[in-house]
Amino acid sequence: MNKRATWVWADTLYWFFYLPMTAIVIIALVVIPKSAMEAPISPGPLDAAIMEARLLQGVTLNDPVFGARQGYYGSLPAPVRSEKRFGYRVEAQGKESFFNKDFYEQASPLAPIAYDRFIQSEKMWRGSSIVEVEIDQVYPKEYG
């Protein structure tokens, strides 16, 4: 092989790998960020975690001297006001407290299909006995 044919072969081989790799990199730089930005983000799990913390704080015993005593059960919380479409049930010692009861009762049987359900159980002290507090929240899958 002569010197010129070697350079032609090297250039051909170079462009054979360079062009496809350039196309792959450009497509990756455009498609991946675009698909990540267009992906739907549901705030349901985040709102459920925030509401769970608020409800657990609401059932915590408040001592006039020491303030809130974490891990000690006081009473069922008053319904939290919100403009968002969700429902919850808090159960402790056989008593229940609801927020948006109609929505909760309609949505809870359909939870695996059309709604997301978040259930949290927490054990708290009440005097010398342990009370189990259960928080059951239902959010639409298309929530936000």
What residue ranges do the domains of the chain occupy?
A: 1-39, 44-140
Provide the pLDDT for residue 18: 85
pTM: predicted TM-score of the whole model, two decimal places = 0.63
Each residue's pLDDT tens digit in the chain (144 positions)? 566 667 777 788 778 888 889 999 999 999 888 888 877 777 888 888 888 888 887 777 666 556 556 555 666 666 666 677 888 898 888 888 888 888 889 999 998 888 999 999 988 877 788 888 899 999 988 776
CA–CA gap between residue 34 and residue 46 (Å, rounded): 24
* Backbone φ, ψ for residue 16 (5° rounding): -65, -35
Cβ contacts of residue 118 below 8 Å, gap of 6+? 45, 48, 52, 135, 136, 137, 138, 139
